[in-house]
Amino acid sequence: TRKCVLTGRWRNDLGSNMTIEAVDSKGDFSGSYHTAVADYPSTIKVSPLQGSQHRTDQNRQPTFGFTVNWNFSDSVSVFTGQCFVDEKGREVLKTMWLLRLCVGNITDDWKATRVGTNVFTRLQPQKE
Ligand code: BTN
In this predicted structure, what is the pLDDT of residue 35? 98
**Residues with Cβ < 8 Å from 63, sequence gap 6 or more?**
53, 54, 56, 80, 81, 82
What ipTM, to 2 d.p.?
0.98
Ligand 1 atom at shortest distance from the alpha carbon of 70:
4
Supply the residue whose CA is at minimum distance from atom 4 of ligand 1: 38
- Decide the pairing of beta strands 17-20 and 47-53: unpaired
User: pTM score, two decimals?
Assistant: 0.94
Mean pLDDT by 10 residues, the chain (128 residues): 90 98 96 97 97 84 96 98 93 97 98 98 74
User: If you measure from the C-alpha of residue 83 to the centroid of ligand 1, how many angstroms do you get, rounded to a whole number?
Assistant: 20
